[in-house]
């Protein structure tokens, strides 16, 4: 049995939003922003991040997500791999790469996850409706 198919996201066939904060660090410079993401979970329980906007510090509103949609596949009862994470920002471009995030009680958390381009990304995003990982 493949790990990628042992778990999936719920609720299937639904759209979701995520709000919280993210930060990126590159070359010792950090950019911490309020984040707002939009996405959906398909019938097979794979998540897709389709857009995102950022606000807060100077420069946050110029962060641009690339390679959308980013696909999120549950790899365990508590973790999701998000593929093709790529963005442009005032501190430099980051990605593409896969980041592993934790999901608990509808909150996605990641801390100092390395991303190609010499970046480290962190965040805490609350999803609505509440996303969860379930075992097949």
What residue ranges do the domains of the chain occupy? 3-135
pTM of the model: 0.93
Q: What is the pLDDT of residue 67?
A: 96
Q: What is the pLDDT of residue 5?
A: 61
* 3-class secondary structure, 30: strand
pLDDT tens digits, one per residue of 16-58:
999 999 999 999 999 999 999 999 999 999 999 999 999 999 9
Q: Please, which residues bridge with residue 44 across strands? A: none
Buried b (16+ CB within 10 A) or exposed e, 40-78: bbeeebbbbbeebebeeeeebeebebeeebbbbbbeeee
Residue 81 near residue 52 (C-beta atoms within 8 A): no
Q: What is the pLDDT of residue 68?
A: 98
Does the domain at 3-135 match CATH 1.10.3720? Answer given as no
Cite the DSSP H helix spans in 33-80: none
Residue 119 near residue 110 (C-beta atoms within 8 A): no
Share of the chain above pLDDT 70, in %: 96
Q: What is the pLDDT of residue 2?
A: 41
Residue 131 near residue 106 (C-beta atoms within 8 A): yes
Share of the chain above pLDDT 90, in %: 95
Q: What are phi and psi of 6, to 5 degrees?
A: -75, -25
């Amino acid at each position: 049995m493949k790990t990628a198919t042992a778990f999936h996201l719920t609720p299937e066939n639904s759209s979701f939003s995520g709000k919280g904060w993210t930060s990126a660090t590159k070359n010792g410079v950090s950019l911490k922003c309020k984040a707002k993401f939009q996405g959906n979970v398909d019938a097979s329980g794979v998540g897709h991040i389709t857009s995102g906007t950022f606000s807060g510090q100077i420069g946050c509103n110029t962060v641009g997500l690339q390679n959308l949609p980013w696909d999120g596949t549950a790899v365990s009862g508590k973790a999701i791999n998000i593929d093709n994470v790529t963005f442009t920002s005032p501190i430099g471009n980051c990605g593409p790469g896969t980041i592993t995030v934790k999901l608990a009680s509808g909150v996605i958390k990641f801390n100092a996850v390395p991303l190609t381009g010499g970046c480290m990304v962190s965040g805490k995003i609350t999803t609505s409706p509440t996303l969860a990982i379930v075992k097949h």
